[in-house]
Amino acid sequence: MPSDPATPRFGANYVPSAGWFYSWLDYDPAAVRRDFADLAGLGLDHVRVFPIWPWIQPNRAIVRERAIADLLDTVDAAAEHGLSVAVDLVQGHLSSFDFLPSWVLTWHKASLFEDSTVRAGLKAYVQAVAGAVATKPNVFAITLGNEVNNLWPDSPTTPEASTSWAQDLLAAIRKAAPDVLALHSVFDDAWYQADHPFLPVDAVDLGDLSTVHSWVFNGVSRVDGPLGPATLTHADYLVELAAATSVDPQRPVWLQEIGVPGPDIPADLQAEFTRRTVELVLPNPKLWGVTWWSSHDIDRRLLDFPDREYDLGLFTVDHQRKPAASALAEVIADVRANGVQPVEASTLAAPVNLRTEPHRRPEVAPGSEFHLQWVAARAAGPVRITLPS
């Protein structure tokens, strides 16, 4: 047996097999437990769950106790299957749909990030839900929301306002749930888009660890195809960018979302993509864990989703294990048995300091000169990224 093996966490983003997230409207405890049995069978140790903000707080003065009770039962169901739980709060954005309460829309319409009345309502919601789930011993993290920066085009904001918003609500989480991780989650426009009002520095300074979401439909799959080195190493690249941008050399990075979107990753290559991508990122010493998107497919009787969203599950809606799930289970079993040995790494200096020059983010985006240099160097082994001072 190797000495002192690393043991990264493995989990799934929980998409209910019956009714997608609409299932919160007609909660079925037995269906949730059947889904978690699927996931436990893969060797996963955690799930990330997504209550829907407007269904818990339909009016600024109302937090529905029945909805919180259903969420707590989901947490209990996870515990029954040996799974710990991370709870996301502001949904917000899920699978191309936005869910917002009526009290921030129509004649009440205001920026989620800049309006003080909305902020007050959100703090009440955050404190109520975070305080409730923190009573459960298997809840280990609370994330502010799922890719909250997806909401900004309809909610004007600035870097200063988005930072203040996240700081304020993270403080509310910590006050209500002082013994769990408080996290801030963004999708990768925060890393790659020049004028994006959510900044890399916030992704690595705010919250108790950094989170990244690796989706190869962001352009990286066009660099070299579904099994090309740029595509297979994009998760490791994002973990490296986050690690390099943090001022804390010990700060972990959670690969909070990764999946096999079509047509970028064709169905017959999804198992190989899963195995090779995960194996490539595992030796990264900053990696906290890998959480797959998603647990289950979306029933195609539900309408109006982008086509790629329907088939991202590790399981079908009728609980059949898919090739990506089998590949992931094999990697997990190997890690549990043998750990992950550290691998010697080289270094490569980025052309831009993402902390101080966010307007230059495209210089590290997929397909940029620096990204291609990193990919070429990565072929010989892990490559640590450094930022200019």
For residue 387, which of 228, 223, 200, 114 has the smallest C-alpha distance?
Answer: 200
Q: What is the mean pLDDT of residues 275-292?
A: 98
pLDDT of the residue at 5: 41
Interstrand relation of 97-98 and 93-94 (parallel, antiparallel or unpaired): antiparallel
Percent of the chain with pLDDT over 70: 98
Say how far apart CA 131 and CA 328 lie, in whole Å: 33
- The span from the first CA to the last CA of the chain, in angstroms, equals 41
Q: What is the pLDDT of residues 127-142, one digit of tens each?
A: 999 999 999 999 999 9
Q: How many CB atoms lie within 10 A of CB 245?
A: 22
Domain residue extents for the chain: 9-345
Q: How far is CA 42 from CA 8, 14, 45, 149, 329, in A?
A: 15, 14, 9, 31, 5
Stretch 307-336: mean pLDDT, rounded?
A: 98
Digit-coded pLDDT (tens) for 207-258: 999 999 999 999 999 999 999 999 999 999 999 999 999 999 999 999 999 9
Q: Which of 178-187, 263-272, 337-346 has the lowest mean pLDDT?
A: 337-346
pLDDT of the residue at 325: 98
State the pLDDT at residue 114.
Answer: 97
Q: Which of 4-8, 274-278, 292-296, 361-365 has the lowest mean pLDDT?
A: 4-8
* pLDDT tier, 1 (very low <50, low <70, confident <90, very high otherwise): very low
Domain spanning 9-345, CATH class: alpha beta
Residue 210 confidence (pLDDT): 98
How would residue 6 be classed by pLDDT, with cut points 50, 70 and 90?
Answer: low
- What is the C-alpha radius of gyration for the chain, rounded to an integer number of angstroms? 20
Residues 6+ apart with CB under 8 A from 127: 172, 175, 176
* Total residue count of the chain as it appears in this document: 389
Work out the mean pLDDT of the chain and round it to a whole number: 96
- Nearest alpha carbon to residue 172 among 116, 114, 203, 129: 129
Supply the pLDDT for residue 357: 97
Residue 3 has pLDDT above 70, yes or no: no
Residue 112 has pLDDT above 80, yes or no: yes
Predicted confidence (pLDDT) per residue in 13-55, tens digit:
999 999 999 999 999 999 999 999 999 999 999 999 999 999 9
Cβ-proximal residues to 221 (8 Å cutoff; 6+ apart), any chain:
228, 231, 264, 265
How confident is residue 342, by pLDDT bands cut at 50, 70 and 90? confident
91 pLDDT band, cuts 50/70/90, is: very high
Task: Please give the pLDDT value at position 4.
Answer: 38
- Both structure tokens of 100: 């917002």
